[in-house]
Amino acid sequence: MSRWEPNARERLLDAALDLFGERGYDSVTVAEIAERAGLTKRTFFRHFTDKREVLFAGQEPLSRIFAETIADAPASATPIEAVAAALAAATAALGPQRRERARQVRTVVAGHTDLRERELLKLATLRAAMAGALRERGVPDPAATLAAEIGGLAFSTAFSRWVAPANDQDFPTLTAESLAELMAATATLG
C-alpha cells in the first residue's frame, strides 16, 4: 500500500458500510474496514476516531455550514429566515448520489442504542451551532434556541423522509417543506 491513496475517506466509508451490511456493525473491526478499503489502520485513524464516527461523517462540515450561513444572512432576515437559508445551504450537497449511503447508515444506527444516542448528540451539536450563530446575530433567547430547535427538527424530519424507500423528492425540497409544516404548526399553538 502506498503512503497516499486517493479518496481514502470515501473508500473507508464505503468499505465500512459494505461490511456492516454483510456482517453487522458489532462484528466488524477497524482493521477489517481498512483492509477492505485497501488502506491501513493508521490511515483509518487519520480520518476517523473510531468505527462509530464512520457513520456520522460530515457532521462537522454541516455545523460549519449552518453557522456560517446564519452569520452571512442579511441583517433584515428573521431568525427563522436565517435558519431556512442555513438548511438550504446544508442540504444542497446531499443529492441523490448520497441517498443510498444515508439509507445504509440509517439502517445500522437504528439497530444500536449507543449509535442512536450518538446520533442524538450529533443533532444537538447541529442545533447548538445554529443557536450560537443566531445569538451572535443578536437574537436573544429563547428565540435563538427555539429557531434552532425548529431548524433541527425540520432537518431530522426531512432526513427521515428523504431516506424512506418510497421517496423521490430531493433533500432540500423536503427540508423546506418540513420547515414550512413546523412553522404552520407553531401558528396553531395559540
pLDDT tens for residues 137-183? 999 999 999 999 999 999 999 999 999 988 889 999 999 999 999 99
Q: At residue 58, does pLDDT exceed 80?
A: no
Predicted confidence at residue 100, as pLDDT, reads 86
pTM comes to: 0.87
CATH no., domain 56-187? 1.10.357.10
Fold annotation for 8-54: Arc Repressor Mutant, subunit A (1.10.10)
Mean of all residue pLDDT scores within the chain: 92
Q: At residue 36, does pLDDT exceed 50?
A: yes
For residues 127 and 70, what is the distance between their CA atoms, to the nearest angstrom? Answer: 12
Domain locations in the chain as residue ranges: 8-54, 56-187
Tell me the pLDDT tens digit for each residue of 65-83.
999 999 999 999 999 999 9
**Higher local confidence (pLDDT), 84 or 95:** 84
Residue 101 banded pLDDT, cuts 50, 70, 90 = confident
Q: At residue 2, does pLDDT exceed 60?
A: no
In the chain, what percentage of residues exceed pLDDT 90?
A: 78
b or e along 130-159 (b: 16 or more beta carbons within 10 Å of the residue's beta carbon)?
bbbbbbeeebeeeebbbbbbbbbbbbbbbb
